[in-house]
Structure 1
Amino acid sequence: MSQGTLRNNCLGFIELLAQGIALISPTMTAALIIPVMYGNTGDWSWLSYALGTVMLLFVALNLNQFARRSTSAGSMYAYICRGLGFTVGAIGGWSLIWAYLGISMAGVAGFSIFAEKLFEMAGIHVPLLALAAACVLVAWFCAWKDVKVSAVLMLAMEGISMTLILLLCVISLWQHSFAIDHVQFDTTNLPLSGLGLGVVVAIFSLVGFECATAFGDEARDPLRTIPRAVILSLVISGAFFVFVT
């Protein structure tokens, strides 16, 4: 990367897809948010995620109307400016920054807590603050060194995590002979109020699917690969959530 510029044409479709899925963070949702979802929605938790995914697919289709026509590093800020002006665009841009910072903080906190427990199981005491600092420094270094390195690393880590969770689900189903739980399809027990709250939680779980639009300068063939990454990251994560619930 030359000084003051982004590295052009370095991210292919797979790397863009990895960015979207990693920012959604399906493994964090499976470990922390799905139990909360079940506490509110019960046996219909899977439907909340299905409805949330479909609703956001309509958002993604609208977003892709811009992504197929123009590309830049400004992401949704640039799209909002073109449609609603600079004032609304600035509000949208700052909102997006704060949202991504919130996701980052949640990721750092989750990593620190799980890493601390893992070290405790091994009989090693590591301060929580030290783990958080290490997580931030490693993430910053990967992003500063090369966006392609960070994208490939995110793909590997999230891919391994999702595979392990799916393996755990399959083992659990195998122990129960893959029996169908008919209660999850019994509409007489459909909690409408809980379902509405569940959809809100589902949408929160899928935040980040649009992040590929921020790599307009780094992506190869961006007018084609970015829209595909936006849609597919949402579909893969939504299907994963439905299956796990």
Structure 2
Amino acid sequence: MVVAAAAPLTVVAGTVPLGLAAGNGAAFPMTFVLCAAVLLLFAVGFCAMSRHVPEAGAFYAYVARGLGAAPGLGSAFLALVTYTAVQAAVYGYLGATVDALVQHYGGPSLPWYLYAAAALLVAGVLGYRHIELSGRVLGALLVAEVAIVLVFDAVVAVTGGLGPGRSTALFVPSQFLSGSLGIAIMFAIASFIGFEATAVFRDEARDPERTVPRATYLALVLIGAFYTLSAWAVVSAWGDADAVARASTDPGTMIVTTITAVLGPVGGDLAQILLVTSLFAALLSFHNVLARYLFALGNAGTMPAALGRSHARHASPHAASLAQSCTALALIVVFAVTGMDPVTQVFAWMAGTATLGVLALMALTCAAVLVFFRRTRADTRIWHTVAAPVLGLAGLIACLGLTVANFPTLIGGSAALAGVIGGVLVVAFVAGMVFTRVGAAHSGTSRPPVTGTTRPAGTDLQEDLR
């Protein structure tokens, strides 16, 4: 689920050319290694604390247990906005990509939002049913998209590609530090969005105390290695200078052109089709993540209680899934009515919002890990509870600073728009904190546990905290 959310082929097709063109050039592949290292440091504390957080609220639950109910609910509201934004970005990109594919094979030109609405319907049906069905669909799509890229990587590694030979730029410090390293890090860190969602699915895991940490580490290592290898193969296929030039002139079709040149027309056609399935896999994964956030909030009494109920047959958060589908449909309607471009506006603006939001959430979670273990002494391992979280927090703050500094570039160069988007994220966090205070003042006690859910009675997070 989380590897599918990272959309491996979409990153290779969309992010890698942008990183080559606007980041640190041919050395961009090494940026994935740097970002993976920072996120692995974050994951050490995240996984150590996972055995002490029985709720399936991910960032919300971690921040609440470490920093308190108000920051926790603020993080929940921030996460809802963040993941809604990334899902909206995928809808825009998916709609435009399907339209281009249909026209490529001689079909009619239709508005992007019709394809997006069709994808929403399919994702909604799968999200309503048991998680295993979504898992099977995502597994099949994931294997297909990863396979085509790995075949391409292998051919380039063996033959040396079409250019002067295999690239070594990623191992040269001067090249890694050249160009705009800040923008390179910003694009690379955005490519990992979704790995942290392992904790969201702990209710449906057979043995969450073991499998959540294992899945988190494995997802990070696999995603990081795949991105690094594939980005290196793209550079090596053309040669350092030519790869950067091609990425600068035509980033949108660079990967399809490259795969076609290396694997032939059949490989290029498969890449185009699998890019669509990659986007849908990411869409379905984020749909499930958002549904489980709403489920956790409904279960804790901070959202309508109906959202915290699970389906009697499918054991899925069906009400939360339906609510999430309605929210996504409303956004698609707004984008369509306002005439926003699906790529340069919907995708760029929403992806930028998600990048900033996820970095802020991870930094808050890192701080919560440090405070939680300092206060409870539930785990006394220095590396897991102090050293790695401190290093991870420092790395995340650095990445967050670089993202804020380069944020206008990520969303098209508008400082005013960057300020508005940043303001929305801040307002979401503050609104969650205020909601907690107002709810506590009016009720004095937490709501009773919601019945008819997959959660056992007595696990209301706010009640535990109070």
Q: 1:183 to 1:204 in 2, by over 3 A?
A: closer
Instruction: Look up the match of 1:38.
Output: 20
**Residue 116 of structure 2 aligns to a residue in which SS?**
helix
Question: RMSD of aligned C-alpha atoms?
Answer: 1.9
Q: 183-192 vs 155-164, which deviates more?
A: 183-192
Q: After superposing the two structures, state which structure 1 stretch, 162-171 or 183-192, moved more.
A: 183-192
Look up the match of 2:80: 97
Partner of 2:69: 86
Instruction: Look up the match of 1:134.
Output: 118
Range 158-167 or range 27-36, more displaced: 158-167
Structure 2 vs 1, CA of residues 92 and 192 (structure 1 numbering), >3 Å: closer, same or farther? farther
Q: Is the 8 A contact 1:27 1:165 kept in 2?
A: yes
The partner residue of 1:169 within 145, 150, 153 is 153
Counterpart residue type for residue 34 of structure 1: V
Corresponding residue for residue 159 of structure 1:
143
In structure 2, do the counterparts of structure 1 residues 79 and 183 end up closer, same or farther at CA, with 3 Å as the change threshold? Answer: closer
Question: Which residue number corresponds to residue 10 of structure 2?
Answer: 28
**Do the aligned residues in 1 keep the contact of 2:196 with 2:216 (CA within 8 Å)?**
yes
Q: 2:47: which partner in 1?
A: 64
Q: Tell me the TM-score normalised to structure 2 length.
A: 0.46
Taking the aligned partners of 2:155 and 2:37, their CA distance within structure 1 comes to: 29
SS in 1 for 2:180: helix
CA distance in 2 between counterparts of 1:177 and 1:211 reads 36
Residue-pair matches, total: 227
Unaligned runs of 5+ in 1: 1-18
Q: Which is higher, the Rg of structure 1 or of structure 2?
A: 2
Displacement of 1:173 in angstroms is 4.0
TM-score by length of 1: 0.86
Number of the residue aligned with 1:145: 129
Paired position in structure 1 for 2:32: 49
- Mapped to 1, the partners of 2:183 and 2:51 lie a distance apart of 33
**Residue number in structure 2 paired with 1:118:** 101
Runs (4+) of structure 1 exceeding 4 A deviation are none
> Which letter does structure 2 place at the counterpart of 1:234?
L
Q: Is the 8 A contact 1:41 1:194 kept in 2?
A: yes
Task: Using the TM superposition, give the Cα deviation of residue 196 of structure 1 relative to its aligned residue in structure 2, in angstroms.
Answer: 3.2
Q: Which amino acid aligns with 2:135?
A: A
CA distance in 2, matches of 1:132, 1:146: 23
Whether the 8 Å contact between 1:72 and 1:215 is mirrored in structure 2 is: no
2 CA distance for matches of 1:54 and 1:137?
37
For residues 164-206 of structure 1, the C-alpha deviation after alignment (integer angstroms, 9 at most, x for no partner) is: 1222233344443694323432334343562233122211110
List aligned pairs for 1:209-228, cutoff 5 A.
Answer: 209-228=195-214
Q: Distance in 2 between matches of 1:244 and 1:34?
A: 9
Q: Map 1:222-237; keep pairs closer than 5 Å.
A: 222-237=208-223
Which shifted more, 130-139 or 163-172? 163-172
Task: Choose between structure 1 and 2 for higher RCO, CA contacts under 8 A separated by at least 6 residues.
Answer: 1
